[in-house]
Structure formats: structure tokens, C-alpha cells
Amino acid sequence: MALLAVIALLSSAPKAQAAWDVVEAQRTVAYGLAAIVERQLQQVPASAVALDAIRGLADIDPQFAVVLQGGRVRLSNADRVVADYPAPAADDVESWARLVISAALDAGDLSPLVRDADSERLYRAVFEGALGTADLHSRYAGAAEARDNRASRNGFGGIGIRFELIEGDARIVDVVEDTPAARAGLQADDVIVLIDGKPVRGLERNEISARLRGAVASALIVTLRRGGKMVEAKVQRSLIVPKTVTQTLDGGIAIYRISSFNQRTASTLETKLRETRDRMGARLKGVVLDLRGNPGGLLDKAVAVADLFIADGTIISTQGRNPAADAVLTARPGDLAEDLPVVVLIDGRSASSAEILASALQDSGRAVLIGTNSYGKGTVQTVIRLPNDGEITLTWSRFHAPSGYALHGLGVFPALCTSPAQAASERGDLGRVARTLAVWRHVGLDDTALRARLRDLCPPARRTDAAEDLSLALRLLADPAAFTRVLAAEAVRAKE
């Protein structure tokens, strides 16, 4: 019956031939709009979401506008009414989705720009309109972009190299250890000439990447120029998950830079830390987790990293409008780092999952934070895969630190601030740190003025490569008494 209703509505008047499949578009738009209405953080009726979706057509042709008036939906082009529809019930998602497609077809009757738009252009206009501009973290990705997103999150069938286009040459700049490329003997500075016998010169970077990627266990032949010789290598693709954890040692301190959180972040860190402890024993005096510049990533992997250092208690909680968005994530018994002191480095670009890890370690009394106030991205996004193989990333809940405060728009406050904007006289005042954190952990989500003033106490700054921050961390870990004093100032009000 639903399909008959679609056909009836879309066939009621002659329409120009669209450059996309009408039934597939109806299915994709209906699925996407329903997901937005059911799951987004703020409750918005289907009517409002659909009207914004129709307004998104203006992204294709700015002459179009739509209004809801007197129970009628009017689509206009400049000063001309193009179509007039009866408004469905406010919560009737399916009917509103049909109206969106009908409006797109009617718009195409008048506008070549709309008529000639392909399906991806239509979906982007409609879904970006539906998602609006209030939430910067909700977005639509077309099928090709969504495939890349999924590969970034979950890994992909590849060979394990990084290359750059240098004067037209696809030159390898890095071969990741323990990958097919490394095992096949590929080297940095090799130039890729052919992939499966086809030249790559003249191709864009993404086109070359697409040729290198493929199904896991499939093989390809890469022809390389190495010095003055041509070298051919057969490489079998495997699951490639980008490396996110690097380790360095400074005396008895293990330093781990975590660039983001993907499927292997937690397991990689656990392996490296366990091997280091086994090798160094009592000579391992502390750990630095460097989260500067870390934009976040997979929530569950950030939680798993926190669980390596926290014996018990809450790591993070999430709260949303949809009951499925609510969760309290806790640590399991056992702490891989045992009683090792931990310092976490953060800056103004540490966001989302990085902030979850930092706040959990701070509130649990397990780490001293050094750096600047973090980004303040405290919302949770769920990824909705659409029938067209694209995806909507939708904000549906907020993060709350173990002590209860909402991270969004506030961020995490470091005990030792290195922000250039903070007065030198205020640095190292542990009483001030304790007082600030007491307010920080109780400020209301709606008290935007106070939240802004709190952020100004240690303004966010980009400190990714600031040697001062790491040096301060190493000095603090070398002085157990000083570390204990700072830790006490951070944790003194964490349980209130």
C-alpha cells in the first residue's frame, strides 16, 4: 500500500524526467527523515524536518523557497508558486518524505539545475537541509565518502603505504610496518608507475588510493621505479587499520601519543604498555598519554583505553532523548598500569573521545592533566547507514564526566595550564585549581555565561608540538611528592 501511495502522489501531474530513481529516492529520504525524527538530541516534528529538507533544494537552485501556511505547503520559485500541497499530519514521516520527493520533482519541472542534479546532489541538499545548521556535528556523507569513513573507522583492504603526488609522481613516503607492502619489500621513495599494468601518472590522489584498495586477500601487481630500475611486486591486500598509537621512552617514563581512536587503538596501547612493563619492571616510573590534537574517534575504544588505567567506577555516561542513547560505561576490575602515575597532555584541539578519556582519568584521581582547556565537543553521534549506501552522522546524546558535568561547550580543565593567554602569576596555584574544578563540576548546561568564563581561565590553544608541555609532564613524574600534590588538587571535589 505504501508503494501505491508513493506512485499515486508522484504521478498526479506530468513531471520532467529526473536524473535519479524516484522509488529509491523515496526509500532513502523516508529512512533518513525517520531516523532524524526518532533519534536526534532535540525533539523536532517530522513536518519541521521535512520542510527544512525541501528548503535544502535552494542549495541546488537558490530561487526556491517553501512555506507552511493554513495547512498548505507552498513551493515557490522567486515570486511564482510552483506547487501547492495539503500538509500531512505533523508526525507522519512517510507522508512528509513523499512530499519532499514530489517537491523535488515539481522543482525540476521549472529548474534545469534541479532536474539535472544526480541522486547524490539531491540527497546532499535534502539531508543537509533537514539537519540544519544549529548542530555542526550532524552531517550527511554520500556513498563514496561514507565508504572512506567506514574504512577509517573499521579498516580497509589495502597494502599499508602512504604516498604523495610529487611533480606528478606517486612517491611512497612511508611503508607501515607489518603490512603487505612491508612484506613485499616496498620502500619509502619508491615511485608507483603501474598498478595491475595500468599507468597511474595523471591520476588524482584519491583515484590512485582507490586502485590500491580492494577486497581483503585480493592481490595486485605494483610496478615501481626505484632509483634507475623498474621493480615489480605482487602484494596481497589485508585489513589495514591506520596506526594511532606511537611510543617513545624517556628514562623511566613511557610516552604514548594517541592521534585518534579507531578499532585497534586500545589493543595497540595495551600491547605496547604490557610489553614495556614486562621489559622495564620497576624501572618504569610513569606514563604520559599525549592527546594533544586528538579529534576523537570511536567512543568504545576511548573507554577501553580509560579502563586500562581505572580499576573501577564510572568512565563516562551519555544522556539523550532516545532511550537507546542513554548509557553508563564503567571500568572493569583490574588496572594494567597498577599504581603508576599518569599525566595526560591536552590542548584546544583535543576533542570528543579524547576529552572522555581525559575527564575520566582526572575525575577518578588517576591522572594529572597538563595543557590548555580542551575543545568542548561533548556530544555523541550515531551513524545511520542509508539505503543508498550513504550515511547520516547524527547527534543524539551528550557526554557527562564521572563527576556529572556536561562536557559540551565546556571541555576539560587541566590542573597545570600552559595556555599562553593565562597569566604567569596564576600558574601552579593549586588552591585555585581546586576551587575552579569545584565550580566546573557543578556548572549547569544552560549557564552559558559561567561556562564561557570558566573556559577563559585556561583558554584553548593549539599545543600539539609544544615541547614545554611534555617537559613539564616529565619533570612532574620525576617528582612523586609534587605529582601527589597536584593530583590531590584535581581530585579533591571529584566525588561531591
Q: Which of 374, 377, 397, 403 is catalytic?
A: 377
Cα–Cα distance between 299 and 105 in angstroms, integer? 40
Are 286 and 343 a contacting pair, CB within 8 Å?
yes
Q: What is the mean pLDDT of the chain?
A: 91
**What local confidence, expressed as pLDDT, does residue 13 receive?**
43
Residues 430 and 453 in one domain: yes
**What local confidence, expressed as pLDDT, does residue 7 receive?**
37
**What local confidence, expressed as pLDDT, does residue 17 receive?**
57
**What local confidence, expressed as pLDDT, does residue 333 receive?**
85
Cα–Cα distance between 282 and 6 in angstroms, integer? 71
Residues 122 and 172 in one domain: no
Residues 92 and 69 in one domain: yes
Q: Which of 61, 106, 363, 469 is catalytic?
A: 363
Quick one: three-class SS letters along 162-184?
A: EEEEECCEEEEEEECCCCHHHHC
Decide if pLDDT at 170 tops 50.
yes
Decide if pLDDT at 60 tops 50.
yes
**What local confidence, expressed as pLDDT, does residue 16 receive?**
53
Are 358 and 486 a contacting pair, CB within 8 Å?
no
Using 50, 70 and 90 to split pLDDT, how confident is the model at 19?
confident
Q: Which helix (H) or strand (E) holds 24?
A: helix 22-39
Cα–Cα distance between 353 and 318 in angstroms, integer? 12
Using 50, 70 and 90 to split pLDDT, how confident is the model at 495?
very low
**What local confidence, expressed as pLDDT, does residue 256 receive?**
99
Using 50, 70 and 90 to split pLDDT, how confident is the model at 2?
very low
Using 50, 70 and 90 to split pLDDT, how confident is the model at 1?
very low
Residues 390 and 311 in one domain: yes
Residues 380 and 431 in one domain: yes
Whether 312 is catalytic is no
Span 328-334, mean pLDDT? 91
| 17 or 484: which leads in pLDDT | 484
Decide if pLDDT at 78 tops 50.
yes
In a domain, 424, yes or no: yes
Span 350-363, mean pLDDT? 97
Decide if pLDDT at 318 tops 60.
yes
Residues 307 and 388 in one domain: yes
Decide if pLDDT at 301 tops 50.
yes
Decide if pLDDT at 326 tops 50.
yes
Domains identified in the chain, total number: 3
Angle at which helix 46-55 crosses helix 93-110, to 10 degrees, equals 20
Domain end residue (candidates: 100, 134, 168) = 134
Residues 436 and 287 in one domain: yes
**What local confidence, expressed as pLDDT, does residue 283 receive?**
95
Residues 261 and 403 in one domain: yes
* Domain span holding position 220: 156-240
**What local confidence, expressed as pLDDT, does residue 155 receive?**
67
**What local confidence, expressed as pLDDT, does residue 5 receive?**
42
In a domain, 143, yes or no: no
Q: Which of 102, 119, 352, 419 is catalytic?
A: 352
Question: In 3D, which of 310, 314, 378, 316 has the Cα closest to residue 344?
Answer: 310
Using 50, 70 and 90 to split pLDDT, how confident is the model at 360?
very high
In tens, the pLDDT along 382-432 reads 999 999 999 999 999 999 999 999 999 999 999 999 998 776 656 778 999
Residues 272 and 384 in one domain: yes
Q: Collapsing DSSP states into helix, strand and coil, what is residue 281?
A: helix
Residue 224's CATH number: 2.30.42.10
Domain end residue (candidates: 134, 165, 195) = 134
In a domain, 147, yes or no: no
**What local confidence, expressed as pLDDT, does residue 214 receive?**
86
Domain end residue (candidates: 222, 240, 258) = 240
Decide if pLDDT at 209 tops 50.
yes
Span 344-370, mean pLDDT? 97
Span 73-79, mean pLDDT? 90
Cross-strand bridge partners of residue 174:
162
In a domain, 205, yes or no: yes
Residues 161 and 308 in one domain: no
Whether 377 is catalytic is yes
In a domain, 333, yes or no: yes
**What local confidence, expressed as pLDDT, does residue 240 receive?**
83
Are 111 and 21 a contacting pair, CB within 8 Å?
no
In a domain, 150, yes or no: no
Q: What contacts 450, CB < 8 A, 6 or more positions away?
A: 439, 443, 444
Residues 86 and 167 in one domain: no
Using 50, 70 and 90 to split pLDDT, how confident is the model at 134?
low
| 270 or 152: which leads in pLDDT | 270
**What local confidence, expressed as pLDDT, does residue 216 receive?**
85
Span 212-219, mean pLDDT? 89
In tens, the pLDDT along 416-472 reads 999 987 766 567 789 999 999 999 999 999 999 999 999 999 999 999 989 999 999
Residue 483's CATH number: 3.90.226.10
Residues 191 and 98 in one domain: no
In a domain, 382, yes or no: yes
In a domain, 123, yes or no: yes
Span 170-193, mean pLDDT? 95
Span 227-233, mean pLDDT? 95
Whether 352 is catalytic is yes
Looking at the chain, the whole-number percentage of residues with pLDDT higher than 70 is: 94
Question: Considering the entire predicted model, what is its pTM?
Answer: 0.79
